[in-house]
A and B are shown apart, each in its own frame.
Chain A
Amino acid sequence: NAGVTQTPKFQVLKTGQSMTLQCAQDMNHEYMSWYRQDPGMGLRLIHYSVGAGITDQGEVPNGYNVSRSTTEDFPLRLLSAAPSQTSVYFCASSRTFTSTDTQYFGPGTRLTVL
């Protein structure tokens, strides 16, 4: 199993540009999520999905959209990039959304918005 994969690894955008961060998992996990990591703040939840066709907002959803058309894929869209969205983005998945299930993380995407 490849686990959780993310593309691209690095991306530089100009303010106002849009892009999609890709995330895929091959473990047949129901739950998938997106986090951003900023220095001194740990990881903060952006959006999550408990199954295909079901998404919901996390702690910091503004400026981001998600969709979940298949169990495997959970892309994150930046509609109009802003410098405040410069961060490292991690996708994660777990078997279910229950509190005892372990989340497994992808390698991350480092995004810079100029």
Chain B
Amino acid sequence: AQSVAQPEDQVNVAEGNPLTVKCTYSVSGNPYLFWYVQYPNRGLQFLLKYITGDNLVKGSYGFEAEFNKSQTSFHLKKPSALVSDSALYFCAVRPLRDMRFGAGTRLTVKP
């Protein structure tokens, strides 16, 4: 079965510092991995995805993610956090006809 895990329920960073939100995956075959963000009382917004090729994927709002096959990880990163980045972040993998989500990581960026 294909799945993802987000080992941290909560991540706190100071504004201007780099941020990392962690995701590990368990996939048979090629991994197709996604990151979404959910702001309060809103739906999920697509940030970026890894299909193949370059291990560093760039996405929306200055976010990027690093795919690491040996560590089976797909961590979300941003060089300089903003208070407005505070939200709930979900990692996901998409087996055929389905999408499996992690439990989510709540990111809080403090001024």
Which A positions have Cβ atoms within 8 angstroms of B?
A: 4, 31, 33, 40-45, 48, 50, 56, 58, 90, 92, 97-108
Contacts and interface: CB of A to CB of B under 8 A. Distances in A.
B17 to A, nearest CB: 27
A98 B45 CA distance: 19
**Most chain A beta-carbon contacts within 10 A, residue among B44, B96, B104:** B44
Interface of B: 9, 30, 32, 34, 36, 41-46, 49, 51, 90, 94-99, 101-104
A29 to B, nearest CB: 14
A105 B95 contact: no
Secondary structure type dominating chain B contacts? loop
Contact of A99 (B42, B43, B45, B94): B94
A56 to B, nearest CB: 7
A41 B9 CA distance: 11
Nearest to A91: B43
B41 to A, nearest CB: 8
Given A40-B9, A90-B43, 6 more contacts: A40-B104, A56-B97, A99-B94, A100-B32, A100-B49, A105-B45
A58 B32 contact: no
